[in-house]
Amino acid sequence: MHRSCLLGRKMKSLQILLVCAEVLAIALASNSDAYPSGYGDDSGSCGEIEEKPVPLRREVYGNGRIIDITHRVTPTTPCGGFEGVGEVVSLSLSMKNGSDYNFSIMKLPVHAGTHVDAPGHMYDRYFDAGFDVDSLDLDVLNGPALLVDVPRDKNITADVMKSLNIPKGARRVLFRTLNTDRKLMFKKEFDTSYVGFMKDGAQWLVDNTDIKLVGIDYLSVAAYADLIPAHLVFLEGREIILVEGLKLDDIQPGIYDVHCLPLRLLGAEGSPIRCILIK
């Protein structure tokens, strides 16, 4: 029936073709045990499937006024120590299996993709005391922010920080680096050669600026060579919030309003976060 549908009908559109091809593929692949028989066969032919709605997937909204700087979460989303995060969302109840609704379960490392670190990430005493993502200050995570380009030939040292001339009073800075040019966030393998802060760069920021939100374009604000020391410098005072894995491609450097919202995961030292810039 699906075959005759495919062969016998003049296709009105590619969308119809895709719907039919999908149904055919499932019908051919099926030993009738994946789903109850008759699945996908509610119409008896493809003729009644007029058009398959296609969701809009956007990076900007409102004619460019709102820019999404969050990476989409997919099985190939990178995460330190993983080769992509694998299946993140899986259906535990499915209409194809006779449920009244679809209902998915999510399984995701809290430091995967675009995410935030809480002080408990690197300090056991802070973890035990409950300095989790639920305790992060939304006032730091929301407000005017500066997007700056970092020289592409170095990690972020004290000298580099000095050279950026970030004005006093700037509380939120998103650092765009070679990581963006190298499209590292689009590769599922964790790449330890990414650019990040060296310990002295982190210390310089803490000592000489008013920055409380540090955003960066790969999975860690700290260069791999100084992974722990630079994190410790940032997190010790429990005032600085680290947002990692930002999507900063194709955005003009300058001043924006940033809005970042982590999940209220009690007891978690990290969380996926949705961040947007508003012009």
Ligand X SMILES: *[C@@H]1O[C@H](CO)[C@@H](O)[C@H](O)[C@H]1NC(C)=O
224: helix, strand or coil: helix
What is the closest distance, in whole angstroms, from the C-beta atom of residue 191 to ligand X in the complex?
9
Judged by beta carbon, residue 192 or residue 208, the one nearer ligand X is 192
Residue 220 interacts with ligand X (CB under 6 A): yes or no: no
* 172-176/270-278 β-pairing: unpaired
Which of 215, 262 has the CB closer to ligand X? Answer: 215
Q: Residue type at 30?
A: S
Q: Is 218 in the site for ligand X (CB under 6 A)?
A: no
Helix (H, G, I), strand (E, B) or coil at 88: coil
Taking CB under 6 A as the rule, does residue 14 contact ligand X? no
- The CB-of-94 to ligand X minimum distance in angstroms stands at 3
Contacts of 37 (CB under 8 A, 6+ apart): none
**210: Cβ–Cβ under 8 A, 6 or more apart, which residues?**
168, 169, 170, 171
- Residue owning tokens 């008896």: 44
Q: Which alpha helices (DSSP H) does the chain contain, by range?
A: 2-8, 14-29, 124-129, 138-141, 158-164, 178-181, 199-208, 227-235
Site for ligand X in 39-78 (CB under 6 A): none
Q: How many CB atoms lie within 10 A of CB 107?
A: 10
Residue from 85, 118, 178, 243 that binds ligand X (CB under 6 A)? 178
Subset of 89-128 contacting ligand X (CB under 6 A) = 91, 94-97, 102
- Residue 224 in the binding site for ligand X (CB under 6 A): yes
Q: Is 275 helix (H, G, I), strand (E, B) or coil?
A: strand
Q: Judged by CB, which is closer to ligand X: 100, or 250?
A: 100
| Binds ligand X by CB under 6 A, chosen from 10, 153, 168, 252 | 153
Q: Which is nearer to ligand X, 33 or 250 (CB)?
A: 33
- Determine, following the binding rule CB under 6 A, whether residue 166 of this chain makes contact with ligand X: no
Applying CB under 6 A, which residues contact ligand X?
34-35, 91, 94-97, 102, 153-155, 178, 193, 195, 223-225
